[in-house]
């Protein structure tokens, strides 16, 4: 019964996390697009008001005129819309989900003893340290190099090396599935940290100065935009890391940390295409197509590099011989009963009775043979031969008698 309620909590939390993430990412993408689509106003009234750029858009049957002031309007309205709760809600729901799914069950989901045989408390502490140390290192890089000449390039290169180092460590210390998610959560934490520590405080300082009739320090706007741009480049890599737990061929690869970095690089390049595309339409930037092509080529080469070796041909005699339920039962007993037996029924799945095996035959095939997600982190050391046996049994009709 406890696992049943935990499954519901996991589902609802995941649902909330996806909803809030859509709201945050949607707002981020919109404002980046807006910034890159602004044109100088043509009417004198807007220029006199201090409008530095505007965008005319049509959507949903209506026309919209978005304006951005070069610094700030002469008089602020009483009501201002702030975009920050989307970020905070996404992080809170995501961290809660990460805690419930990986930290609470660290021995099962976080630790891979073939990589690091440590106690759950130590593994949890190191995992949480990734969030803090990555943020501190990233923030230091931005503060030290961000305002220098060619600062954006220097920061980009250094942060890329920082992400690469973190990915290497995570994939060598933790279970592959957890490592991918940990790197994504680490970057997402930094994105939310940018909002919490720099973007919103800077905006509040500017608003306070304007309310009091004091001059506005432009550094807050410049720094806020810089961190917002960083967030938009993090977005697609983070989304891949969050989705990767459904595709075991990525995180179980021998060089999974390289797989993670290559797909993140491809995602960042494709995101750059969309960022530049709006400026290109206005004649303010070069053709963005090469960025998209770089991303596609990186992803394509990664797919080719990761392709599995061709399966060994099966003899006609072996193909004709059906796998008995007794053979399958031995595999299930050794590899699956500890989590799906009489004592424990993870995900409300029980595999120690023929009728239950018949009910979950499709799931056994998908989880243990096709995706190879189960057993989790291969904690029970199931062999490729045993997976092949389960696959042959399912293809033969999944008989349980």
User: Each residue's pLDDT tens digit in the chain (401 positions)?
Assistant: 566 777 788 889 999 999 999 999 999 999 888 888 888 898 888 888 889 899 999 988 899 999 998 777 878 888 888 889 999 999 999 999 999 888 988 888 899 888 888 899 999 999 999 999 999 999 999 999 988 888 889 999 999 999 999 999 999 999 888 999 999 999 999 999 999 999 999 999 988 888 888 888 888 888 988 999 999 999 999 999 999 888 888 988 889 999 999 999 999 999 999 888 877 777 777 888 999 999 999 999 999 999 887 766 656 666 667 888 888 888 888 888 878 877 777 777 888 788 888 888 888 888 888 877 788 777 777 888 888 888 888 888 888 77
| CA-based nearest residue to 191, from 142, 246, 257 | 142
- H helices of 174-255, in order, are 176-194, 200-211, 218-243, 248-251
Q: Which residues pair with 54 in a beta bridge?
A: 39, 67
Give the other-Cβ count within 10 Å of 377's Cβ: 23
What's CA 15's distance to the chain center, in Å? 15
CA 202/CA 196 separation, integer angstroms = 10
293-300 contacts, C-beta under 8 A, 24 or more apart: 294/266, 294/269, 295/265, 295/266, 295/267, 295/268, 295/269, 295/270, 296/266, 296/270, 298/262, 298/265, 298/266, 298/269, 299/262, 299/263, 299/266
pTM summary value: 0.83
Phi/psi at 318 (nearest 5 deg)? -70, -35
Give the other-Cβ count within 10 Å of 103's Cβ: 17
CA 268/CA 232 separation, integer angstroms = 9
> To the nearest 10°, the Cα dihedral for 355, 360, 365, 371?
-150
């Amino acid at each position: 019964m406890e696992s049943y309620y935990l499954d519901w909590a996991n589902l609802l939390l995941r649902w909330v996390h996806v909803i809030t993430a859509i709201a945050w990412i949607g707002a981020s993408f919109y404002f980046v697009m807006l910034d890159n689509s602004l044109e100088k106003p043509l009417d004198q009234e807007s220029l006199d008001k201090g409008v530095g750029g505007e965008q005319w858009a049509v959507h949903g049957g209506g026309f919209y005129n978005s304006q951005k002031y070069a610094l700030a309007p002469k008089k602020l309205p009483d009501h201002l819309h702030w975009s920050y709760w989307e970020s905070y809600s996404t992080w809170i729901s995501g961290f809660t989900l990460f805690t419930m799914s990986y930290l609470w069950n660290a021995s099962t989901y976080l630790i891979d003893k073939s990589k690091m045989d440590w106690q759950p408390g130590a593994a949890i502490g190191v995992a949480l340290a990734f969030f803090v140390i990555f943020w501190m290192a990233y923030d230091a890089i931005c503060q030290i190099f961000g305002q220098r000449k060619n600062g954006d390039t220097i920061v980009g290169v250094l942060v890329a090396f920082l992400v690469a180092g973190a990915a290497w460590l995570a994939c060598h210390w933790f279970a592959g599935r957890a490592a991918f998610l940990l790197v994504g959560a680490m970057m997402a934490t930094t994105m939310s940290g940018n909002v919490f520590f720099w973007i919103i405080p800077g905006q509040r300082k500017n608003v306070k100065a304007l309310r009091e009739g004091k001059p506005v320090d432009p550094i807050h706007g410049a720094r806020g935009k810089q961190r917002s741009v960083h967030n938009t480049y993090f977005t697609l890599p983070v989304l891949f890391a969050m989705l990767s737990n459904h595709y075991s061929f990525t995180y179980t690869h021998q060089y999974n940390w390289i797989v993670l970095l290559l797909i993140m690089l491809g995602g960042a390049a494709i995101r750059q295409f969309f960022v530049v595309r709006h400026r290109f339409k206005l004649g303010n930037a070069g053709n963005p197509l090469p960025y998209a092509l770089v991303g596609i080529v990186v992803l394509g080469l990664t797919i080719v590099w990761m392709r599995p070796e061709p399966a060994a041909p099966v003899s006609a005699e072996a193909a004709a011989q059906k796998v008995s339920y007794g053979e399958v039962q031995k595999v299930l007993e050794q590899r699956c009963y500890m989590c799906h037996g009489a004592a424990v029924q993870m995900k409300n799945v029980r595999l120690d009775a023929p009728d239950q095996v018949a009910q979950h035959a499709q799931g056994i095939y998908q989880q243990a043979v096709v995706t190879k997600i189960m057993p989790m982190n291969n904690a029970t050391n199931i062999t490729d031969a045993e997976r092949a046996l389960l696959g042959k049994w399912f293809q033969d009709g999944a008989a349980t008698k």
